[in-house]
Structure 1
Amino acid sequence: MTADTDPADDQGAVDLLEPAEGVPPLVTDRAALADAAAALASGHGPVAVDAERASGYRYSARAYLVQLRREGAGSFLVDPIACDGDLAVLGEALRGVEWVLHAASQDLACLAEVGMRPDTLFDTELAGRLVGYPRVGLGPLTEHLLGVRLQKGHGAADWSRRPLPADWLTYAALDVELLIQLRDAVAADLERQGKTAWAEQEFEAVRLAPPPPPRAEPWRRTSGLHKVRRPAALAVVRELWESRDELAAVRDIAPGRLLPDAAIVDAALREPARRDELVAMPVFRGRAQRRLADRWWSAIERARALPRSRWPASAMAPDGPPPAHRWGDKDPAAAARLAAARAALAGLSERTGTPVENLVTPDLVRRLCWAPPEAPDAATTAATLRELGARPWQAELAAPLLAEALLAQPPEPPESSASSAPSGTAAQES
């Protein structure tokens, strides 16, 4: 274990079943929201922030509950839906205050949607990765570092449900109950390992990260798509996926709850000739699916009416280097560079106690090794890493090792036995 704690310490963890000050009342109107903002503004130190979404139940990624806690102010549970989706007054009250979140990249977008954007950030999950803890979930970290076991069980619940059950609110309040103490414990380990500057750069990169660009062909993420080979059948998958996605967005329902991916793939493979054949298939014969049968059959008919020129390609055009397992055939020199780079970063990970993917992302390493700079010295390699998105600390730490790896050459092919044997021997064997 590379962290400064021992798993054996967890055996004495104490269960935390209720917040020390009790579960706060749910903030559901503008007056209560203004009171919460005033209280938080009068507190001191960082503020713990969390948000609950309804992933797997809703199409949108909006926040259905926001939890906050600050010393001198206490804890608050805020219902963004009841507050018209506008919590900007909380964001203004916390200007200049450090926000502490766990796995911040999961929550920042939905918080920004309700008007809450941090000026400075501390991410306990990301910090835990840099330190090298073997488990970085909120529960395991709280057990390891604080000796307290949090209540579990509602993280994947349907938080769009109203009214919210009392035990869910208890769970939500506990998520921020110890987050500031956890932040302090992880920060102390960062400081001991000399990684505070690393963490600060990582936190700022997360805070300022733009939304991911839309995928070129999002339907290709359909589970089980690898079973569908023919372009005509892929067209059916695409039309069904897009029809489902359109309806899911309108109804704000998770797409898989309207029609499972497995049913889409099944329809593409079985090729029903008529609507009644479609509704006789598993899943499609269900009551909910029969009500949508016309929609799904129309999607299939649209796909079949497409000319060949509009069929999807068998595979999506690559964005970046080819899969690494093909490099040996396509470009043996690139394969040698990648193998050397991976070995060097594995050694660096071992020495620093930080996972390889946090030192330099695998995608960045592949791009560097596939198309290296012309003069791969340490300075040029560091500049290339930064252009590809690496943080300054990553470029400074990894560039010397990667610059050396970029000089790696593929092994010489072994000489054939015929060419290496004495001419007389070869003549006799022939």
Structure 2
Amino acid sequence: MKKQYYTFGENPAGFSPRFISYDSEFVREKSYIPKLALIQLHQSDAQSAQLYDPLSEDNTPPWSSILEHQAPIVMHSGSQDLELMHLVTGQLPRSYRDTQLGFALIQPEQFASYATLIKHYLGISLNKEHTRSNWLKRPLTPAQLSYAADDVYYLSQVYPLLCADLQRLGRLEWWQEECERLLKQTTNNKSAYQWHRLSNASQLKGIETAIADILVGIREQLAAKQDLPRRHIAHDKLIITIAKARPITIEALADVLPANHILWTALAELTQRFAKLAKQTAYPTIPRAPRLSYQAHKYYRSLLKHTQQCAKTLNIAADMLITAKQLKQYCAQPDADSLLTKGWRAPLYANLLK
């Protein structure tokens, strides 16, 4: 296979009608909002990949051409790329295909890496040493740029082969459904970071959960305002320690939270929240899976067995059909809007649903 080339600093007027392979490099470890550092594009009829620098005023990505492109924008495991795209532009591509989702519909590995995909179809072992590079540092090295170009160049080679496999199995429409569902999930408002996601949150009881809830909320506000990682505002361990000390007034909080801590910059909010805490009688709890009655549990076991049998027959992961958690939720409270009742899954479960 001929070695690919890339062009850096060009912004063509448009693209051919074919699909566009897309990838992005970003850094999220040092900020609350991920920082987009590089955009890579390739079309199968082009000799070189196009690289765009979001940090440069002279080489901005052609967002409108990407978003309005009629043919699919192709990514691998693109949920974070879509999140960044939506964050930057407020929009998502008109048509989208995720090769990780497509590959999961033809074999049992649900979350196959990009390297696995390329090895499977092209027999090439990719060098991923630049995955954790500092993509925000300028200038980017030739090795980084070549690595970035590789990702979209090889994606353009694999996409038609994956399409052919899905066509052979009659699952192209399944793939389209899954990709459209991912787009909808990206545009839905994401819930705020909740206290029960803290490390060791299960150790908290009673009023401790309410205190953790307050501190997590303040941490989230400050992290967003100052664009810092949550851990730079307050580590989970500190929040758990304070919550277990049970300070129920702002004065008591001062005994366990260092005077120079950044959380005190939100003093007004802390004071207001702790004033309400004294009057609070019900405290938040960790969300649990629904408890099933004997009959509901029996129904759940039958659906789970059917799911596993279907997955084996289809040669895909059972979770691609539905997860155990989703099955339990359905059995506890059957919902006409469940995945089991929609699209390509519906015929597989039609005779079993209540």
TM-score category by the smaller chain? 0.7 to 0.9
Rounded to whole Å, the distance in 1 between the matches of 2:102 and 2:124 is 19
Structure-1 residue corresponding to 2:308: 346
8 Å Cα contact 1:88/1:114 also seen in 2: no
Partners of 1:278 and 1:297 within 8 A in 2: no
Aligned pair partner of 2:39 in 53, 58, 66: 66
Q: Is 80-89 or 237-246 further displaced after alignment?
A: 80-89
| Residue equivalent to 2:347 | 396
Deviation at 1:207, TM superposition (A): 3.5
Structure 1 residue 346, shift from structure 2 partner:
0.6
Equivalent residue in structure 2 for 1:141, among 117, 136, 158: 117
Q: Which residue of 1 aligns with 2:105?
A: 130
CA separation in 2, counterparts of 1:266 and 1:394?
A: 46
Residues 178-234 of structure 1 deviation map (CA, whole Å, 9 limit, x = unaligned): 001111222222223332222122223333445233437723322221111131x22
- Offset of residue 256 of structure 1: 1.9
State whether residues 30 and 228 of structure 2, in contact with CA within 8 Å, keep that contact through their aligned partners in structure 1: yes
Unaligned runs of 5+ in 1: 1-15, 280-288, 374-383, 407-430
**Conserved 8 A contact 2:31-2:229:** yes
In structure 2, C-alpha distance between the alignment counterparts of 1:339 and 1:122, rounded to whole Å: 33
Match of 2:7 among 20, 24, 27: 24
Is residue 335 of structure 1 aligned with residue 286 of structure 2? no
Note if 1:185 corresponds to 2:161: yes
Residue identity in the other structure for 2:330? L
Q: Give the structure 2 partner of residue 267 of structure 1.
A: 242
Residues 22 and 75 in structure 2, CA contact (< 8 A), matched pair in contact too? yes
In 1: Cα distance, 2:327 partner to 2:146 partner = 43
Match of 1:413 in 2: none
Partner residue in 1 for 2:78: 104
Report the Cα distance in structure 1 between the residues aligned to 2:281 and 2:30, rounded to whole angstroms. 32
- Correspondence 1:45 to 2:7: no
Q: Do 2:76 and 2:114's aligned partners in 1 also have CA atoms closer than 8 Å?
A: yes
Q: Give 1:254's aligned amino acid.
A: P
Cα 1:144–1:332 shift into 2, 3 Å: same
What SS does the corresponding residue of 1:310 show, helix, strand or coil? coil
Match of residue 365, structure 1, among 310, 320, 327 = 327
* 1:150 partner SS: coil
Counterpart of 1:421 in structure 2 is none
How big is the shift at 1:254?
1.8
Q: Structure 1 residues 244, 208: CA separation in 2 closer, same or farther (over 3 Å shift)? A: closer
Q: Is 2:226 the partner of 1:251?
A: yes
Q: Which runs of 5+ in 2 are unaligned?
A: none
Identical aligned pairs, as a percentage?
Answer: 24
AA matched with 1:52: E
What secondary structure sits across from 1:64 in the alignment? strand
Counterpart-to-counterpart distance in 1, 2:268 and 2:183: 43
Q: TM-score, normalised by structure 1?
A: 0.70
Q: Secondary structure at the match of 1:63?
A: strand
- Tell me, in whole angstroms, the C-alpha distance in 1 between the residues paired with 2:87 and 2:209: 35
State the distance in 2 between where 1:229 and 1:298 align.
26
Structure 1 residues 75-94: aligned runs within 5 Å: 75-83=49-57, 87-91=62-66
- Following superposition, the deviation at residue 312 of structure 1 comes to 6.0
Question: What is the rounded CA distance, in whole Å, between the counterparts of 2:303 and 2:225 in structure 1?
Answer: 47
With normalisation by structure 2, the TM-score equals 0.83
Cα-to-partner distance string for 1:310-363 (whole Å, 9 max, x where unaligned)? 3662415x5xxx625x32xxx111111101110111111111112122123444
Give SS of 2:32's match: coil
DSSP 3-state at the match of 2:120: helix
Q: How far apart in 2 are the matches of 1:214 and 1:312? A: 25
Q: Deviations over 1:101-131 (max 9, x none)?
A: 1123332232234446423222110011111
| Cα 1:207–1:302 shift into 2, 3 Å | closer
CA contact (8 A) 2:242 2:256 kept: no
Q: Is the contact between residue 193 and residue 220 of structure 2 (CA under 8 Å) also seen in structure 1?
A: no
Aligned residues: 345
| Cα distance in 1 for residues equivalent to 2:338 and 2:7 | 45
CA distance in 2, matches of 1:274, 1:201: 50
Match of 1:378 in 2: none
CA distance 1:277–1:354, change in 2 (3 Å) = closer
Q: Contact (CA 8 Å) 2:54, 2:61: kept in 1 or not?
A: yes
